[in-house]
Amino acid sequence: MDTILGIPIPFTWPERVASISALITVLFGICLLVAPSFSLKLLRLQTLPDVPGALSEARGTMAGFYLGVGLLALLLQQPLIFAALATGWIFTAFGRFVSMLLDPKLLGGFNTFNIGSMIFEATLGLAALWPATEMFSGAHPLELLANSFMAALATLLLAMGLSPV
C-alpha cells in the first residue's frame, strides 16, 4: 500500500468507501468538539441551563469517540478497525430502530428524521464494513449486517426476558 508521510492511502474501492465513512465520522467529531450546542441542535437535543455539564458530555463522550475511532480508521486503514467503526454505526442504527419501536410517543416514533437518520447510520456502517468482508471469506456486507442485526435482536430479547427462539 502506498503511503504519504507514513499514512496509508486507500487503494481499493472498499478502502476508499470505508475511508469516506471514517472521514464523515471524524467531521461529526470535529463539529461536536468545536460547536457542541449547534451540533446538539442538529441532533434535536438541547441542554438545560442548570446542567452545564451537558456540553462537556457532547465534547467528551460523543466527539471523543467519533474522533478516536474515525481517525484511527483513516490513519491505519486496517479492515478490523473499519469493522469496529462499522459495528458502532450499525448498532447506532439498530438503537434508533429499537427506539422507534419502543418509544413511539417520543417524536412520533417512525418519523422522517428517525427513518432518514437510521438509513444514513446504516449506510455509514455498511460502507465501513466493506474492507472487512474481504477478511471473512468474501462474505457480502449485507450478510454481515444481517448477522450483526440478528445477534443484537437476540441480545435485546434476552435482556427483556424473552426467548429469541
Residue with cell 478490523: 80
pTM of the model: 0.77
User: Residue 51: helix, strand or coil by DSSP?
Assistant: coil
Each residue's pLDDT expressed in tens, for the chain with a length of 165 residues: 676 777 778 778 888 899 999 999 999 999 999 999 898 888 888 888 888 788 888 888 889 999 999 999 999 988 889 989 999 999 999 998 888 888 766 556 778 888 888 899 999 998 998 887 766 656 665 666 666 666 666 666 666 666 655
